[in-house]
Structures are given as C-alpha cells and as structure tokens.
Structure 1
Amino acid sequence: MEAAQETPDRPPLDRGALGDAAFLSANGIPQLSVVESTGSTNADLLHGVTVDPQAWPDLSVLAAEYQSAARGRLDRHWEAPARSSVSVSIVLRPVNAEGRPLPTQSYSWLSLLAALALREALLETAGIPAELKWPNDVLVRGKKIAGILAQLGPLGDGAVPPVVLGTGLNVTLTASELPVPTATSVLLEQPATVDRTALLKSYLSRFATLYRSFCNADGDPAAGMAGGPSLHKRVEHVLTTLGKQVRAQLPGDHEIIGHASRLDDYGSLLVVDAGGHEHLVTAGDVVHLRPWTPPGEARGESGYA
C-alpha cells in the first residue's frame, strides 16, 4: 500500500543522454527530439509525415514532457502531470535490409512488438515483471502501466506507408493521480529506479533491435529474431489474455464470449465459443476485451463481466 503521498521528484528528461550520438547511432535512430509540451506526439508526427515526409525518416523519435491531448485506442483521452510519464512516438517506415517494403498486413504486429520491448525494458531497468494484454497494453500484476497506439500515416506518392507508434508509460504517478483504479505506475511497483531517461533509452534500444530483426525477416512473425524465438512465440509467452475466458464487444453491438486460444499469423486473437466455433477478433474491431466469468460462478480477482 502506498505511503502518505507527496508529489515525487520529477526531473526533466536528460536531453544530453538521449541525444548522445553514440546511443543514437548504435540504435539506428536518425533523430530524437524532446518537447516541453504538446497536444499529442502521435498527432505531431502524423502531421509531420504528411507535410514533410523527408524530414521524418524511419525510427525518428519525438518525446514530450507533457501532453494535453493524448489519445488512446477508440479515441480515449487521458492527461498526466508534466514529467510523470514516458510519452514517446516513433515514425516507422518498415523495409527489409534490401529496402523492400514489408507487407502492410504485418503492420498489425508493430504495437505488440513495442509492448514486448517495453516489457523487457521494465524488467531490466526497473526490475518490474510485466505482461502483455492483447491488443496493446502492458500490465503489472493485472494493472495497466502502459498503452500503445499505432496509427497509419498517408500513403503519399507510392512510397512505404509510414506508421506512427505512440507509447505512454506511467512512471511517477501517485495512486491519487492514476486515471482509473485498474492502472498503476512504475513508482507504485517497488521499482529499482524511476529514472525516465533510463527507461526511455532502454525501451528505444530494445524496440530498435526487435524492429530491425522483424523487418529483415520481411515481417514474418514466425521467423526467429534477434538471436532467439520468433516474435509470435515471444508475444504468446507473455500474453496474459491467452487461456482466459473473455468477452469481446465488437462494433454494431456484437459480442463474442469464449476462450482466448491463440494469435494468428497477423496478430489477431482467436476466440473459441461454447459451441466450439472459432472467431477471429482483430485489434481494429474490438471495442472491449475483458476477462469473463459465467453468471453464478465464483469470480476470482481477474474475473469480471
């Protein structure tokens, strides 16, 4: 339980460490900008890749100390105190080592790849064990610590369509500052550190390694990557959604209740209903995905309608 609250120390991101030429070069990051305040880093980069595509090459990074109009999936809005989070967006132009564009159907894996990279960064940098919740959340002990949003940019003149990948990680939010009771922050999870610069550098390094390996495998989630198992296997291994009874509310008041069995080749969730029928649920379609306990049965901590 959290002790009596004082506002934690919230130093700025270390722009010198983030802009270090050796760090950027080692991770293939052509530019990394930090702004004090903006509406949304995702919106800024979507505007940037539309107005001046050449100014935002692959793996360009924009971070903000404060966002006033951050958006999540389904256009959900949230706002956190300045310097309390890692708020960062990355421009992706996925091509393989020969410069051949990845098939756009592989883009659905990018948010899961980012979640995996953030999970690794949290474990190594802060000593916090995390899991993934399909399609785009990172959880610690069942509570959301981060969300990820991938948005497709304009196709332009036939070039590779860019993706803007935004990540919001709660770092020093106190219990009273959390947006919902089912959220958490690095500060609240007995971390080894709450250094946002160290967390951001670790995340970007892991993301760049996994991303480049994924691109060089032509976006094949079944290919071994970065000297280890495939992206598909890595994600399924830490995906807390699998094996649970879930209720997926879809657009148009449709609902699927069943057993979350596996991910398909495109990162979509396969849900088996009571009749044994398998349903494909895509990240773009799902409105809500929640653990589900049949009426009349005892509900554990993770089971709720």
Structure 2
Amino acid sequence: MDRKRSAQSGPEGRVIKYFETLDSTNITAKEFAEKGAPEGTVIQAGQQLAGRGRLGRVWKSQAGKGLWFSLILYPKTAAEFCPQVTLLTAVAVAEALQKAAGVQGRIKWPNDILLDDRKICGILSEMALTTEGAIEYAIVGIGININMSSEDFGAVLADTAASLYLATGMEYECKQVLKAVLEEFDQLYGQWHREGFAPIRKKWREYNCTLGRMVTVKDNDEEIYSGTAEDVDDYGSLLVRNAAGKIESFDFGEVSIRSC
C-alpha cells in the first residue's frame, strides 16, 4: 500500500490528508481518529485497493475516476442516534451533486444515491464506543463515481452503476465535487446539532426513493420481512408495514425495492 500523502487546508481550515493509494479510507481514518485527529478531518485516496461498502461488499475505486474519502467526526449525541449521520450525509451528497452537476440524485435507504435507478454513491458509516457506551468517534466513508465510463464499470456493473460523466457527458474535477459535498455536509451537520433530526428527516424524505414502495428486507441474503416502506423513525431506522398491517423498524440489513 502506497501511503504517500499530502496535507492541505480545506473549507474553514479543514485538514484534508490526501493519499495516492490506500487500502481503505475508513481504515486509515480510524487510525487518525485513534490519535485524536480534529473533527472534520478528511482522509482522501486517489485509489482504494480494498474499498468496501455495507455488508462487506467490494467498492470499485479506480485511480483518478472518482471521489473516495472519509470524514472523522465526534458527534455530540447518544450512540443510538448516530445512524442519523448516514441519512444526513446522503442528503448532503444529493444536494451537492445537484449544485455541482445539475443532476437529481435519489436516496435509497440508508446509504445509496441513485441516478435513474443506478448507483452513483455509497456511504459507509462506522463508530467506536467507549467502555461506558458513549461515542468515541464516528467515521463516514463516501464513494462517488465521477468520471467513470461504461468501460470502466465493465459488463457486471454497467447496468447498475452511474457516474457524473455518464449522466452529463462532462468530466469533473474531484476536488470541486469534494468541496461541494463538504460545504453541504457542514451546513447539515451543524443544523443537526442545533435543531435535531427533524429538519434533516424532512429533507431526506424529499430526496428519497424508498418510502411508499414495496420493499424486501434481507439479512445475509435471507429475506426476513417485506411490505411497504412507511417512513424513517427518530433513530433513522426504516419503518416497514407488512400485508397484515404490522409495522417493524429496521436499522440493519439490505433493502431491495422495485424501482426508484
């Protein structure tokens, strides 16, 4: 793993540590968090060799083709509310892509951004707890396909993956998209601390493509529940009503839906 890096100052003095190649930005972000890196520190990689998404899936992270980075956070909230950060981040990315490239992303609960039913962004949030159960730190990893072509995705992903280049026919500078995402994130993260989850949930609903649709919830590829996605609760969990009218909440697993 090539850990050659550079440091630069981001918005409002934010520290951005750029590595040409990393196994995973989330793994490196944890290392920095353990050493007390300031909140908002960004760990960015030109390429990831072992990038991953939720449920341990591999995330294709080609050199120079996308934006692969992780944020180090110290949320001032109880651990049970930390999953709200994933929904907050999804809203920030959707708004940033709209402002930076004029594309209308839709959020699939809890961590995907889609363009025309194809995935352009994935989010992986992780946290560490103290022995007392408080949040020690949280890491939010974000992967956005920027300049990837159909050939870059290959036959396996060509029908399910999207990029800004494929959506608009234009190439983008990753640093400009990063700037847009961080600006939106900072605004929403501050609002979340000041006003709670309610305004974030309202914005999330506006961008989502999950609520009101028939969904199937899977755990380790096994179907465990199905019904209509009704809402997200105060913890960021998905509320699903089955055919008998029973509502269950889910903060884990994979959700498949018919169409976004």
TM-score by length of 2: 0.90
Q: Is the 8 A contact 1:62 1:89 kept in 2?
A: yes
Unaligned runs of 5+ in 1: 1-14, 96-101, 223-229, 293-301
State the distance in 2 between where 1:249 and 1:33 align.
Answer: 36
Please tell me the root mean square deviation across aligned C-alpha atoms, in Å.
2.1
Q: Is the 8 A contact 1:125 1:192 kept in 2?
A: no
Match of residue 11 from structure 2: 24
Match of residue 221 from structure 1: 197
- Percent identical pairs in the alignment equals 29
Q: 1:270 to 1:154 in 2, by over 3 A?
A: closer
Match of residue 3 from structure 2: none
Match of residue 84 from structure 1: 65
* 1:59 maps to amino acid: G
Could you say which structure has the larger radius of gyration? 1
Q: 1:191 to 1:268 in 2, by over 3 A?
A: farther
Deviations 1:161-219 (A, max 9, x none): 100100000011111222622111111001665221110100011101111121223xx
| Mapping of residues 71-220 of structure 1, within 5 Å | 71-95=52-76, 102-155=77-130, 160-178=135-153, 180=157, 181-190=159-168, 194-217=172-195, 220=196
Tell me which stretches of 4 or more aligned residues in structure 1 moved more than 6 Å.
156-159
Shift of 1:116: 0.6
State the distance in 2 between where 1:267 and 1:158 align.
Answer: 19
Choose the corresponding residue for 2:25, options 41, 46, 52: 41
Deviations 1:82-119 (A, max 9, x none): 01010010000013xxxxxx122221111111111111
Q: Is the 8 A contact 1:128 1:191 kept in 2?
A: no
Q: Is the 8 A contact 1:259 1:271 kept in 2?
A: yes
State the distance in 2 between where 1:158 and 1:105 align.
Answer: 10
Match of residue 216 from structure 2: 247
Match of residue 256 from structure 2: 290
Q: Is the 8 A contact 1:122 1:199 kept in 2?
A: yes
Q: Does 1:264 align with 2:233?
A: yes
State the distance in 1 between where 2:187 and 2:122 align.
Answer: 20
Q: 1:272 to 1:159 in 2, by over 3 A?
A: closer
TM-score by length of 1: 0.77
